[in-house]
Structure 1
Amino acid sequence: MLKSMTGYGEGTAESAAWKIRAEVKTVNQRYLDIAFHTPKLLNAEEAHMRDTIKQTVARGKLDLFLTVEDLREKSVNIRVNRTLAQAYQQALNEMSDLLRVTRPDDVATIASYPDVLTAEEQTSFDGGETVLDEALGKALVALDEMRQAEGANLEQDFLHRIDTLAGFVEKLKQLAPAIVASYRDRLKATVAELLAAENIDETRIIEETALYADKVNFTEEVVRLESHFAQFRQIIAEADGPVGRKLDFLIQEMNREANTIGSKCQSAEAAQTVVDMKSEIEKLREQVQNIE
C-alpha cells in the first residue's frame, strides 16, 4: 500500500502521575527529518522516541509536539544563598553604623531580600515513560491511517495517468508506419539525386541510409516505455514499504525515452503527442514527490 508523506495524528494518555498529549505532523522531504517540540523534562527520551517514530515513518519532515502535565504532588527544596545573605547582613550593619540606627536582628528581614531564598521543585520523569509511549503510539497510528488514505487516493491517480501515457504510446505506434513511409520517400529522392550525379558518392548514400534507420525508428524507446509502465504498476501493486524513490527513478526514465522519441518523430501530430506525454509525465513526477 502506498503512503503519502503528508499527514497528521494526535494521541493522549494519562496515569495517576502524568497526562501527555502528542501531536505529529509530516510533510514532504527527501529524507527523514524529525524535529522535537517538547519540554526539557523529556530531552533524555528523544533517542527512544526517534526509534519509535522510525518504525512508522521512513521519509518526510516530521514535527512532534508534546504537552506534559505532572499530576503528582510536587516536592520542593528551599535553597539558601549564603554568600548573598551574608553580603546583605554586612551591608545592613554598615548602614546601621553610618546612620546610628539599630542593627536588624530578625533573620526574616534578610530572608525577604531578593534571591536570598529560592524554591526549587524536584522534577523527574519517573513513571512517565509508559504514558509517553502510549500517547506517541496513538498519534503515530492516526498519522499512519491518514497517510495510507492519502496514498490510496494517489494510487488511483497514478494508475489513471499511466493509462493515459499508455494511450499516447499506442497513438505513436499507430503513427509510426506513416512517419517511416514519409521519411522513406524523402530518402529515395535524396538517393536518386545522388545517383544522378556524375560522380556517385557511395559513402554519402551509405550515410543517408544509416541515418534513416536510426532517425525515424523509435521502436526501442516505445518498448522501454511500456516496460516502465509495467514496472510502475507492479511496484504500486506490491508496495509494502517506501517506494517513492523507485517510482521517481522510473519517471525520470520515462521522460528520457519521451525526449528521445521527440527528437526522432517526423510529423507534427507525433510531436504534439510527445508534448502531451511529457506534460503528463511531469504531473506524475509532481505527485510522486508526495509518496514515501
Structure 2
Amino acid sequence: MITSMTGFGSAEKISDKYSLKVEIKTLNSKFFDASFRLPREFVKWEIEIKNLLENGLGRGKINLGIDFNIKHFDQPPIQINQNLFDAYYQKLVEVSNSLGVNGSIELFKMAFNMPNVVQHQDEATNYITYEELKSVLEMALSNCNEFRANEGARLEAALLESRLNIELGLEEVKKLDSGRIQNLKTRIHTALKEIKDKVKVDENRFEQELIYYIEKLDLTEEKIRLASHLTYFDEVIADPLAPSGKKLGFLAQELGREINTIGSKANDAGIQRAVIGMKEELEKIKEQILNIL
C-alpha cells in the first residue's frame, strides 16, 4: 500500500479555560526530521511529542505548530518578588545619593528590570495536562495520515500507469526480438557466402565465433529478469503493512539495470525506441518514489 510523505492535519480543542490548536505538515525526507513551534510551557514535553510523531508518521520532514491560549487566569501570569525589588531599589538609591544624582523614576525602572524581580508563572501547564494535549495531537496525526493515504492513492495510480507502460515496452521488445537473432545469423551467412570464394574460412572456428557473438546479443535473461522485477513491483505496492518507498527505490535501480542492458545489447532500431520509452516511464517512477513513505 502506497503512503505519501506529503501531508497536512490539524485539530483543535476549546474548553471553558483554554483554546488549543495543533497543525502538522509533512514533506518527503530520507529520515525523520522534526521541527517544533511550541508554547514555552510545553517545551518540557518535547521528547514525548517527538516520540508520538515519529511513531505515528515514520520518516519525513515534519513541521509541528501548537497554539495555546488561556481564557481566564486563576492567578496573575506573573509574580513580583517584592523583597528582591526593595533590595535592588534601596541599593540603587544609596548609590544615586552618594553621587548626588536624582532620578527616582529611572531607579524604579532599573530595579524593576533586575534579574528575577518579575517571575513568570508556568501557567499553561496548570490548565492543561499532557494527556489532554496528546489527545489533540493524535487527532491531528490521524487527519495527517488520512491526507497522506489519499495522496498515496494518487501516487499509486501514477506508478501503476508507468509500470504498465514499461510492461508494454517489454512486450514490444519480445515481439521485435523473436526473429532478431535468426535474421542476424542469416545476414552473416549471406555475407560470408559473398566472400567465400575470395577468403578461406575455417567453418568450425567461424561457427564458434558466431555462437559467442550471438550469445552476447541474446536478451533472454534480461527479458526474464525485467518481467520478474515488474511482478515484484506489484507485490510491493500491494503489501498492506510494510512501507514501500525504499523497496521501490531499490527495485527501480534493478529495472533500470535490465532496461539499459537491453538497450546496449539490442543492436536494433525498433528495440532501441522501445527502450527509450521504458526509460522515460522509469524516470517518472523514480520521481514519484521520492515522495513515498
Please give the TM-score of this superposition, normalised by the length of structure 2.
Answer: 0.86
Aligned partner of 1:272 in structure 2 is: 273
Higher mean C-alpha deviation, range 16-25 or range 146-155: 16-25
Q: Helix, strand or coil for the counterpart of 2:3?
A: coil
Retained in 2: the 8 A contact 1:13–1:131? Answer: no
Q: Helix, strand or coil for the counterpart of 2:57?
A: coil
Aligned partner of 1:210 in structure 2 is: 212
Retained in 2: the 8 A contact 1:28–1:290? Answer: yes
Q: Helix, strand or coil for the counterpart of 2:108?
A: coil
Which deviations, in whole Å up to 9, do the C-alpha atoms of 1:154-178 show, x marking residues without a partner?
1122122211111110111000123
CA shift, 1:275, in A, is 0.5
CA shift, 1:204, in A, is 6.1
Q: Helix, strand or coil for the counterpart of 1:55?
A: helix
- Unaligned runs of 5+ residues in structure 1 are none
Retained in 1: the 8 A contact 2:93–2:107? Answer: no
Q: Helix, strand or coil for the counterpart of 2:288?
A: helix
Higher mean C-alpha deviation, range 248-257 or range 154-163: 154-163
Higher mean C-alpha deviation, range 30-39 or range 199-208: 199-208
Aligned partner of 1:258 in structure 2 is: 259
Which deviations, in whole Å up to 9, do the C-alpha atoms of 1:189-243 show, x marking residues without a partner?
465557963474965652342121221x111111111111111111111232311
Retained in 1: the 8 A contact 2:92–2:107? Answer: no
Question: What amino acid does structure 2 have at the position aligned with 1:207?
Answer: E
Q: Distance in 2 between matches of 1:256 and 1:275?
A: 13
Aligned partner of 2:29 in structure 1 is: 29
Question: What amino acid does structure 2 have at the position aligned with 1:89?
Answer: V
Q: Helix, strand or coil for the counterpart of 1:161?
A: helix
Match of 1:89 among 86, 90, 93: 93
Higher mean C-alpha deviation, range 179-188 or range 151-160: 179-188
C-alpha distance 119-199 of structure 1, shift in aligned 2 (>3 A)? closer
Find out whether 1:167 has 2:168 as its counterpart. Answer: yes
Question: What amino acid does structure 2 have at the position aligned with 1:7?
Answer: G
Aligned partner of 1:113 in structure 2 is: 108
Higher mean C-alpha deviation, range 9-18 or range 160-169: 9-18
C-alpha distance 273-94 of structure 1, shift in aligned 2 (>3 A)? same
Retained in 2: the 8 A contact 1:17–1:128? Answer: no
Aligned partner of 1:122 in structure 2 is: 121
Q: Distance in 2 between matches of 1:203 and 1:112?
A: 109
Retained in 2: the 8 A contact 1:18–1:131? Answer: no
Which deviations, in whole Å up to 9, do the C-alpha atoms of 1:7-63 show, x marking residues without a partner?
111111244544321100011111111111112221111111111112221121010
Mapping 1:44-63, distance limit 5 Å:
44-63=44-63
Q: Distance in 1 between matches of 2:196 and 2:24?
A: 73
Mapping 1:1-292, distance limit 5 Å:
1-71=1-71, 72-75=73-76, 76-79=78-81, 80-81=84-85, 84-94=88-98, 113-117=108-112, 118-124=117-123, 125-126=125-126, 127-189=128-190, 193=195, 197-198=199-200, 200=202, 206-215=208-217, 217-292=218-293
Aligned-pair Cα RMSD in Å = 2.6
Q: Distance in 2 between matches of 1:171 and 1:143?
A: 42
Higher mean C-alpha deviation, range 259-268 or range 110-119: 110-119
Q: Helix, strand or coil for the counterpart of 2:179?
A: helix
Q: Distance in 2 between matches of 1:194 and 1:142?
A: 78
Retained in 2: the 8 A contact 1:20–1:131? Answer: no
Q: Helix, strand or coil for the counterpart of 1:252?
A: helix
Q: Distance in 2 between matches of 1:246 and 1:51?
A: 25
- Unaligned runs of 5+ residues in structure 2 are none
Q: Distance in 2 between matches of 1:213 and 1:243?
A: 36
Please give the TM-score of this superposition, normalised by the length of structure 1.
Answer: 0.87
Q: Distance in 2 between matches of 1:195 and 1:273?
A: 40
* Matched-pair identity in %: 28
Q: Distance in 2 between matches of 1:36 and 1:194?
A: 81
